[in-house]
């Protein structure tokens, strides 16, 4: 009994101790497996080791940025220009008078008063001076073609009137009962003179055809004519029968 009891006791101890041993072994194994703590890096590392990245405080050096000097663009020197002369207004020349080239008045055989009036009328006619002719005609109550007023006969567009009057006064006058008349062919004395008919045709007062018709139908010259009395009155300037 004693032996059995001892065996039982031994087994019990073994059962009790075994777990404790296993626990101790397990703890020991755990202690062996734990890594050894790495030593703290030495502050005095060798030159071969990577230098410590101790941040060096950056000192910002204030660099003065140069202020750009404004560049002055040179002002171009203006090239002196010659001033253009102010154009002189061009005066529009007055249209030439159609009668300007007609010869002056022929005053042969006229009285002094008649000659003076003939020259005044001729000068105004060759200048197409309507104002002077109107004044002279009104003053003498001159009989005009168709009994028209002088202002209607002598106008800026009545070129033929100035030409006819100037031509008549340039031709040789002939005596009439109250003064002189021009052209001669208008008088009874020269009414059938071929030479005098040729003169009015050559002067441009009528055409050759008109001359023939007048001689046949009218029995005499019925074209433009002018009369000035001995006292210098401008008696008529007319045409037609």
DSSP letter for each residue of 122-133: HHHHHTT-HHHH
- Kindly state whether residue 173 falls inside one of the protein's structural domains: yes
State whether residue 96 is helix, strand or coil. coil
Count structural domains, the chain.
1
- Kindly state whether residue 142 falls inside one of the protein's structural domains: yes
- Kindly state whether residue 40 falls inside one of the protein's structural domains: no
- Kindly state whether residue 220 falls inside one of the protein's structural domains: yes
- Kindly state whether residue 78 falls inside one of the protein's structural domains: no
What is the overall mean pLDDT for the chain? 77
- Kindly state whether residue 21 falls inside one of the protein's structural domains: no
Rg of the chain over all Cα atoms, to the nearest angstrom: 72
**pLDDT at residue 123, as a whole number:** 98
- Kindly state whether residue 83 falls inside one of the protein's structural domains: no
What pTM does this model have? 0.62
Sign of the C-alpha dihedral, residues 96, 99, 103, 104?
negative
Q: Quick one: how far is CA 142 from the chain centroid?
A: 52
**pLDDT, tens digit (0-9, with 9 covering 90-100), for 21-45:** 555 555 554 444 444 444 444 444 3
pLDDT surpasses 50 at 166 = yes
- Kindly state whether residue 91 falls inside one of the protein's structural domains: no
Domain residues for the domain of 167 are 112-238
C-beta atoms surrounding 221 within 10 Å: 23
**pLDDT at residue 44, as a whole number:** 42
Bigger pLDDT: 58 or 105? 105
pLDDT, mean of residues 197-201: 98
User: In the chain, pLDDT over 90 holds for what percent of residues?
Assistant: 55
User: Minimum mean pLDDT among 15-24, 40-49, 82-91, 160-169: which range?
Assistant: 40-49
Helix axes 130-140, 112-126, angle to 10 degrees: 150
Whether 180 and 112 have beta carbons less than 8 Å apart is answered as: no
Bigger pLDDT: 210 or 59? 210
């Amino acid at each position: 009994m004693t032996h059995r009891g001892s065996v039982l006791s031994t087994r019990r101890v073994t059962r009790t101790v075994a777990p404790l041993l296993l626990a101790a072994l397990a703890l020991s194994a755990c202690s062996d497996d734990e890594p050894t703590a790495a030593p703290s890096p030495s502050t005095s590392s060798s030159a071969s080791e990577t230098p410590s990245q101790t941040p060096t405080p950056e000192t910002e050096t204030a660099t003065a940025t140069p202020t750009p000097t404004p560049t002055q663009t040179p002002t171009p020197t203006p090239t002196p220009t010659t001033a253009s002369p102010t154009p002189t207004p061009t005066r529009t020349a007055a249209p030439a008078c159609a009668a300007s080239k007609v010869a002056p008045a022929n005053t042969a055989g006229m009285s002094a008063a008649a000659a003076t009036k003939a020259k005044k009328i001729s000068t105004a006619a060759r200048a197409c001076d309507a104002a002077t002719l109107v004044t002279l005609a009104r003053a003498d109550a001159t009989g005009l073609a168709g009994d028209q007023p002088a202002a209607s006969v002598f106008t800026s567009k009545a070129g033929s009137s100035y030409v006819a009057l100037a031509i008549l006064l340039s031709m040789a006058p002939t005596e009439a009962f109250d003064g002189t008349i021009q052209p001669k062919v208008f008088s009874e004395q020269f009414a059938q003179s071929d030479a005098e008919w040729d003169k009015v045709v050559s002067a441009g007062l009528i055409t050759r055809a008109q001359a023939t018709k007048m001689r046949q139908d009218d029995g005499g010259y019925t074209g433009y004519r002018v009369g000035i009395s001995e006292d210098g009155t401008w008696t008529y300037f007319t045409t037609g029968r």
